[in-house]
Each structure stands twice: as structure tokens, then as C-alpha cells.
Amino acid sequence: MNMEAFVLGCGGMMPLPGRHLTSVLLRREGELFLFDCGEGTQVSIRSLNLKWKKISVVFISHTHADHITGLAGILMLSAQVERNEPLYIIGPPRIREFVEMNRQILEMYINYEIVVQEISNPEQPQTVYNGEGFRVRSFPLRHSRVCVGYVLEEDERPGVFHPERAAELGVPRGPMWSRLQGGEPVTLEDGSQVEPGQVMGSARKGRKFSYVTDSLPIESIAREVAGSDLLICEGMFEGELAESAHSKRHMTAEDAGRIAKAAGGVKRMGLIHYSPRYTERDLKRLVRDARHHFPGSFLTRDRMDIPIPYED
């Protein structure tokens, strides 16, 4: 089952040529999940030839303009294609007001169901969406407006099937093997029963994707993103601007590196939401700061495709 993240925009505050505002699309077995929807999101979706009608859920971190100004366009665009499934929009308080006001003022033609779910208590970690074989949790961040991070985490996978063990126990090849791999016990012709644990290895962890942007570097973030196969994290400023960054309730790239290190089990961290003060050449200072604490750090770029493979 494939999983990959597409960076649709990596900029913060204002769009720049070649740097749209913050938005990340996660594709899991053909289903699409959008995290934030900054200005320019549609352009990147079109450039990557992604099917926007496959977007199931839009997860909004907070209602600052640089994270939601692309949403109205996505809603109108989705009405131009055949869509039978509802589009879910999940975010902190006021996201419903934003969607409804845009629909009214722009007199949107919408021919599909839009379901807006506000996170009732964003100060508490909670499951906000359940899918087949995975769930999405929100957790509180600390910004100048109510803001949340998100984690998409898959269920555990069955262990590796050992056909030689099944053969030794007299289980005939065929449907019984499939049932054992699916977690069901089987009964042989002699009446004896074979349990899945006799032919299967230990359960294997699913994948974990975490999205964190616009926050002070609070300790609780590390607990929430621990074990992430891919962490996308704000690294808006370099370390020498930490005082200014924190006064604006933002993180530095150095803060992001510390969080990834403290979390434990994070495989890779992509920095995002860069201040427009940094040119493309300047961004190397941000990744240098992050790598000082977490060597698995890298710079995200618009239209970057990041595969998220299983561990084994």
C-alpha cells in the first residue's frame, strides 16, 4: 500500500515566485488528504497532475490567511468534476464560519456535500477522523490563534507469514493459508486447530505522518510526533532570530531539530513554512540549524514528492 506526501507550498506569510503558501497533500492508496490550503495550492495540484476530486478530507491547522486562502478555490474547483463522496473539512473553531461566509459571498456553485467538523476542544489531543486501517489525531499547538497539529497513524500490520511453519503443521496450501494470514484460526481434517500465532511473526507497526506548523516549541509536540516516519515541521527562522520568532509564536529550524531529536523514532523531518526574508540560497542556513540537532532534516520545496515506505 503506497503512501507519499506532496509539498504543495512551503512558504509562510506571503507567496513568492516558486514558493506557494503552506500546504501538504498526503496520498494513501489513492485517497488524498490535504493539510492546510495556502494560496497557490491549486497550481501545485495541477502541476503534479493530482486528482483533486480524490481529496477526502481537508485538515486545517488554524484560520490565519496563509493557511486557508486557497480553500475557496478548492471548493469551487471540486464542483467542476463528478463527485459522489462528501468532502470533509476539519479544523479548530471558526473554520465553519469561514467556509459558510465564503460560500455565501462568492455565491459558490456546489453540487456535492461539504461536511465541516470543528474540533470542539482543541486544547486536548483527540481522534478527529477514522479511516479504514488508520486514524487522524489532532493535538494542541501554541500560536497567536487557536492552532492544532495533526498525526495520521496506521494500524499495526499482521506479522510475516511463514509458509514452512504452516507446512510442518500440516496446513494445506490454499484458503487456509489466507485465513491464517488474516488472523483466523483453522481446523485441520484430523480436528486439530492451528492458530495464526503459530505461523505468523510479530505484528509490524504501520506508518505515521505528522504535520506541525505555527507554534512555539512546546514539549508536548515531541510526545505527539514520536515514531513518525515523516515529520513535516515549521522551521520559519534561523536560530539567531529565536527571540523574534518566539515573540511571534513561531519556531526556528533549530527548535524543530530539537523536537525531532527529543521525540525519538522520527525517521525524517522536512522543514516548511519559511519566512519570506530567506532567499532560496539563504534556506541552507535553516537546514544547517536543524541538522545540528537532527541529522535527518531536509528542506521541503514546492511540488516535492516524498515517499513514506514501510519499515520492512
Backbone φ and ψ for 12, nearest 5 degrees, come out as -120, 155
Query: Residue 206 is which amino acid?
Result: G
Q: Is the distance from CB of 186 to CB of 205 less than 8 angstroms?
A: no
Whether 36 is a known active-site residue: answer no
d(CA 206, CA 244): 38
DSSP of 119-163, one letter per residue? -S-TTS-EEEEEETTEEEEEEE--SSS--EEEEEEEPPBP--B-H
Instruction: State the cell numbers at 206.
Output: 504501520
Q: Are 10 and 300 in contact (CB under 8 A)?
A: yes
CA distances from 185 to 188, 189, 197 (A): 10, 14, 9
Catalytic residue of the set 36, 66, 229, 255: 66
- Quote the DSSP letter at residue 26: E
For residues 161 and 196, the answer to whether their CB atoms sit within 8 Å is: no
- Centre a 10 Å sphere on the Cβ of residue 184 and count the other Cβ atoms it contains: 11
Cβ 19 vs Cβ 43: under 8 Å: no
- Return the C-alpha cell found at 233: 515541521
The neighbour count for residue 31, using CB atoms within 10 Å, is 15
From CA 299, how far away is CA 27, in angstroms rounded? 20
27 Cβ contact partners less than 8 Å away, ≥ 6 residues apart: 2, 3, 4, 5, 6, 33, 50
Residues carrying an active site annotation: 66
